[in-house]
Amino acid sequence: MPSPDLILRNATLPDGRTHQDIAVADGRILAVEPAIAATAHEEVDCAGQLLSPPFVDAHFHLDATLSYGLPRVNASGTLLEGIALWGELKPQLTHEALVERALAYCDWAVGGGLLAIRSHVDTSDPQLLTVQALLDVQKRVAPYLELQLVAFPQDGILRSPGGLDNLKRALDMGVQVVGGIPHFERTMAQGAESVRLLCELAAERGLPVDMHCDETDDPLSRHIETLAFETQRLGLQGRVAGSHCTSMHSMDNYYVSKLLPLIAEARVGIISNPLINITLQGRHDSYPKRRGMTRVPELLAHGVRVAFGQDCCMDPWYGLGSADMLDVAHMGLHVAQMTSQAAMRQCFDAVTTTPAAILGLEGYGLAPGCHADFVLLQAQDPAEALRLRATRLKVYRRGRLLAENPAATTALHLPGRPAQTDRLHRASAPARGAT
Ligand SMILES: [Zn+2]
């Protein structure tokens, strides 16, 4: 083994392996095995805690982030008022303010161990101010965060004049992924037409596709079917993702039994956004109110990749959020009722390995040869990380320490009891292999 410059000792890995040492040289992983004999200039004792590859967010809007309250808040809490509110804010945007807010969010992300983000960028404005700003941000954060940009026609490519041309110009400027919003086009037919045009554009240019697809409670919004069909027809398998797909929650079960194998066959990835779906969907319902999130366990059972995204953070659609992917996975777990040990592990994967695969990240993972990108969590395993939204003790990228957070403790001073330090609600872990 070449001489390592960093060794992380005694880590537990997300797959359950314990007492693992990870040796790193020149920003790549050299070896992952128990008790590595070599020594390094820098050695870190992980004390048996969970070492994961970094969090990945497959769905975000960096151009709108941290604008909550500008120029007012969303009174109805609906998707459509959010879109209208974003329309009111757009004329007031400046390059400097966009860059400043996006950089601030990226700082939060790194502090929380989130080192890769796929952000949609609105291409509706002919000036493409948002696109310029996020391309600028992408360059600035490149040394510490991988940012992928999706050309997102918020106002529709057919519904808004010049929509398709603006989107193409954004791609010409260097945006890497083709987006879309078929459920916002004027009719179902135009929505389907937009999917066809955008997939053909992606095929021509050799680009991936990630569309906002069926973000509605209307069970007849079936653009995901068209997206799977066009993926198959144009040979785009493995390069296409459908985001949200909330209408699937409300669809007829018989139809879904036909749809799920079509999505799997076309290898279309699905990106669900639990925090946003549970707050925006079902707003037209009285009681009972639908949850609105797509059918995550059923998609997974069909072999479809399903990632969980943050989507929004303090913007016209959502007044909360903190770039914390464990919060996102925690909500996804609850809304989808993924409470078995295996399902909780899938929820952890949905903010780490699964979005990394959908984004096509090179060198992601904990195997020799992968980038030395890690987050050390104050937890024993993925389920405990989710339960406690565990402190991210250390965040590394390419073997370099980017962020540290002090371990969470509580000093208790209870009458009639000796002073003690809380053990962070630690309970004994379930027996390995429990499901
Ligand atoms: Zn979105």
**Which DSSP symbol is given to 228?**
H
Per-residue model confidence (pLDDT) at position 420: 80
Per-residue model confidence (pLDDT) at position 5: 95
CA atoms of 344 and 346, how far apart (whole Å): 5
Query: Per the residue annotation, which of 43, 185, 200, 215 is the catalytic one?
Result: 215
At 418, the pLDDT band (50, 70, 90 cuts) reads confident
For the stretch 372-400, pLDDT in tens is 999 999 999 999 999 999 999 999 999 99
Ligand 1 centre to CA of 307 (Å) is 13
Per-residue model confidence (pLDDT) at position 426: 66
Region label for 315, one of left (φ > 0), alpha (ψ between -120 and 50) or beta (otherwise)? beta
First to last CA, the chain: 38
Rg (alpha carbons) of the chain, rounded to whole number = 22
Which of 287, 284, 322 is CA-nearest to residue 114? 322
Residue 430, pLDDT above cutoff 60 = no
Residue 427, pLDDT above cutoff 90 = no
Query: Average model confidence (pLDDT) for the chain?
Result: 95
Contact in structure between 406 and 390 (CB atoms under 8 Å): no
- Strand partners of residue 396: 374, 401
Pairing relationship of beta strands 114-122 and 55-60 according to DSSP bridges: parallel
Question: Would you say the C-alpha torsion 352, 380, 332, 84 has a positive or negative sign?
Answer: negative
Q: Catalytic residue at 230?
A: no
Ligand 1 centre to CA of 61 (Å) is 6
Per-residue pLDDT, averaged over 22-26, amounts to 98
For the stretch 191-241, pLDDT in tens is 999 999 999 999 999 999 999 999 999 999 999 999 999 999 999 999 999
Spatial neighbors of 423 by CB under 8 A, at least 6 apart, are none
Ligand 1 centre to CA of 371 (Å) is 28
Ligand 1 centre to CA of 313 (Å) is 11
Ligand 1 centre to CA of 215 (Å) is 9
At 433, the pLDDT band (50, 70, 90 cuts) reads low
CA atoms of 400 and 26, how far apart (whole Å): 10
Residue 92 in tokens: 């007031």
Ligand 1 centre to CA of 16 (Å) is 33
Ligand 1 centre to CA of 134 (Å) is 16
Per-residue pLDDT, averaged over 46-57, amounts to 98
Per-residue model confidence (pLDDT) at position 421: 76
Ligand 1 centre to CA of 383 (Å) is 27
Per-residue pLDDT, averaged over 70-89, amounts to 91
Tokens 């808040």 belong to which residue? Answer: 73
**Which DSSP symbol is given to 315?**
B
Query: Phi/psi at 219 (nearest 5 deg)?
Result: -65, -15
CA atoms of 410 and 128, how far apart (whole Å): 48
Which of 42, 41, 46, 43 is CA-nearest to residue 13? 46
Ligand 1 centre to CA of 5 (Å) is 40
Per-residue pLDDT, averaged over 41-50, amounts to 96
Ligand 1 centre to CA of 115 (Å) is 19
pTM: 0.96
Pairing relationship of beta strands 240-244 and 269-272 according to DSSP bridges: parallel
Distances (CA, A) of 362 to 94, 118, 188, 359, 365: 33, 14, 37, 9, 9
Ligand 1 centre to CA of 60 (Å) is 6
